[in-house]
Amino acid sequence: MKGKKILIVGGSTGIGLALAKRVSEDGGEVLIASRSAFDKQASIRSQPYLESCTCYSVDITVESEIKNLLEKIGKIDHLIFTVKSPLIVSPFLELDLKEVRHAFDTKFWGQYSFAKLAHEYINDGGSIVFSSGTLGKRPYNGYSTLSTISGAVESLGKALAIELAPIRVNTVSPGFKTLKELEEKIPLGLGSDSQISNSYLFLMNDSYITGTTIVSDGGAMLV
Ligand SMILES: NC(=O)c1ccc[n+]([C@@H]2O[C@H](COP(=O)([O-])OP(=O)(O)OC[C@H]3O[C@@H](n4cnc5c(N)ncnc54)[C@H](OP(=O)(O)O)[C@@H]3O)[C@@H](O)[C@H]2O)c1
């Protein structure tokens, strides 16, 4: 990661924050953006390896905010998304469409429009890594919104790998981190932020991989 500039959208907590530490430890320049990242800059920078990271405020659902952010930061090498939409758990027939649309606006349209606006800011040899989720491949009762968003994100990743080449475009499909009732069932149990962040690092570093989805879910998809 030495000499590389990495923007992690959704890096203020969770997997994105764990990835930010790994990138920084590896010598990369880390930029973190989320709605609250700028306000939380002092606490983010107080964490190991993140003393010199820069934090920006952006709401991924607002195009003008994305444009302003990109103009401010200029060229980058890798664009990583770890933005999470609100968790909607409800039987399909009882879903509130307004909530479903908001989840799509955040996690699908957010990544979609950000990638569209950002591609010209990505240096040669750079890449985009989207986040989906294991529910896209293995649905559960009540989680149709996240299953659908994840499937759409993975398809977008494949389509853009062709259209935006030589920029590489890949997706990480994280598994469950907190759903205690699944812990016993999943072959490797629940995942940690740090474990899952490995896949994003791998996808940034491998210069011959594009259009793929890495599933980091401890085998959750199989059970
Ligand atoms: N947690 C799981 O078990 C799980 C399972 C499968 C897939 N995933 C996926 O893996 C990725 C990372 O998950 P995580 O658990 O690490 O997430 P997380 O800790 O909840 O972090 C989500 C990030 O998204 C940012 N965010 C939310 N709405 C935003 C918006 N409108 N604009 C800009 N930033 C926004 C949050 O910051 P602000 O609040 O400051 O905006 C935060 O930085 C997500 O795509 C998630 O859906 C997670």
The pLDDT of residue 182 is above 90: no
Q: Whole-prediction pTM value?
A: 0.97
Phi, psi at 120, each rounded to 5°: -75, -10
pLDDT digits (tens, 9 = 90+) for 163-172: 999 999 999 9
Give the distance (Å) from ligand 1 centre to CA of residue 83. 4
pLDDT digits (tens, 9 = 90+) for 125-160: 999 999 999 999 999 999 999 999 999 999 999 999
The pick from 82, 112, 186, 215 for probing ligand 1's pocket by mutation, whose C-beta has the most ligand atoms within 8 angstroms, reads 82
pLDDT digits (tens, 9 = 90+) for 14-51: 999 999 999 999 999 999 999 999 999 999 999 999 99
Question: Residue whose CA is closest, atom 12 of ligand 1?
Answer: 82
| 14 φψ region: left (φ > 0), alpha (ψ -120 to 50), beta (else) | left
- CA terminus-to-terminus distance, the chain: 36
Question: Residue whose CA is closest, atom 18 of ligand 1?
Answer: 14
Q: What lines the ligand 1 site, CB under 6 Å?
A: 10, 12-16, 34-37, 58-61, 82-84, 106, 131, 133-134, 174, 176-178, 193
Nearest in space to 116 (alpha carbons), one of 166, 63, 76, 39: 63
Paired strand residues for 38: none
Q: Which ligand 1 atom sits closest to the C-alpha of 146?
A: 47
pLDDT digits (tens, 9 = 90+) for 81-104: 999 999 999 999 999 999 999 999
Q: Which ligand 1 atom sits closest to the C-alpha of 11?
A: 43
Query: 5-222: which CATH architecture?
Result: 3-Layer(aba) Sandwich (3.40)
Average pLDDT over residues 200-212: 98
How many whole angstroms separate alpha carbon 177 and alpha carbon 27? 27
Question: Residue whose CA is closest, atom 19 of ligand 1?
Answer: 14
Q: Which ligand 1 atom sits closest to the C-alpha of 176?
A: 3
Q: What is residue 181's predicted lDDT score, i.e. its pLDDT?
A: 87
Average pLDDT, the chain: 97
Angle at 169 between CA 194 and CA 14, to 5 degrees: 25
Q: Which ligand 1 atom sits closest to the C-alpha of 18?
A: 16
Assess whether the previous peptide bond of 166 is cis (omega < 30° from 0).
yes
Nearest in space to 18 (alpha carbons), one of 172, 148, 143: 172
The amino acid present at 92, given as its one-letter code, is: F
What residue segments make up the domains of the chain, in order of their start? 5-222
The pick from 19, 60, 83, 150 for probing ligand 1's pocket by mutation, whose C-beta has the most ligand atoms within 8 angstroms, reads 83
Give the distance (Å) from ligand 1 centre to CA of residue 13. 7
